[in-house]
Amino acid sequence: MVADGPDRGPVLDHIGVRVRRWRLKRNLSQRVLAGLAGLSQGYIAQIETGIAPLDKRSTQLALARALQVSLADLTGQPYDPTSLEHTSAARHLPSLRAALAELAFGTVNPAHNAITDHAETMDEVARLHNACRYDDLLARLPNLILALGGRRDDPAAKRRLVWVTYAATFATKYLGHADLALLAAQQCQAAAAQLDDEPQWRGLAEFAIVHTLPSETRALPLHRVGQAIDRLAAATGQPQAGQVYGMLHLSAAMLSAVGGRRRRDAQPRAPARG
Residues 6+ apart with CB under 8 A from 223: 263, 265, 266
Which candidate, 158, 161, 205, places its Cα nearest to that of 182?
205
3-75: CATH homologous superfamily? Answer: lambda repressor-like DNA-binding domains (1.10.260.40)
Query: Residues 229, 248: contact at Cβ < 8 Å?
Result: yes
In this prediction, residue 142 carries a pLDDT of: 92
> pTM, whole model, 2 decimals?
0.66
Core vs surface per residue 50-63: b (16+ CB within 10 A) or e: eeeebeeeebbeeb
Q: How confident is the model at residue 92 (pLDDT cuts 50, 70, 90)?
A: very high
Asked if 67 contacts 19 with a C-beta cutoff of 8 angstroms, the reply is yes
State the DSSP H helix or E strand holding residue 217, giving kind and residue range, or none if neither: none
Question: Would you list the domain boundaries of the chain?
Answer: 3-75, 84-266
**pLDDT of 265:** 41
Q: How confident is the model at residue 271 (pLDDT cuts 50, 70, 90)?
A: very low
Distances (CA, A) of 163 to 124, 126, 166: 12, 9, 5
What pLDDT score does 268 carry? 41
**pLDDT digit string, tens, across residues 107-147:** 656 545 556 667 888 889 889 888 888 889 999 999 899 98
Q: How many CA atoms lie within 13 A of 164 on its CB side?
A: 29
Burial code (b: 16+ CB inside 10 Å, e: under 16) for 200-235 equals: bbbbbbbbbbbbbbeeeeeeebbbbbbebbbebbeb
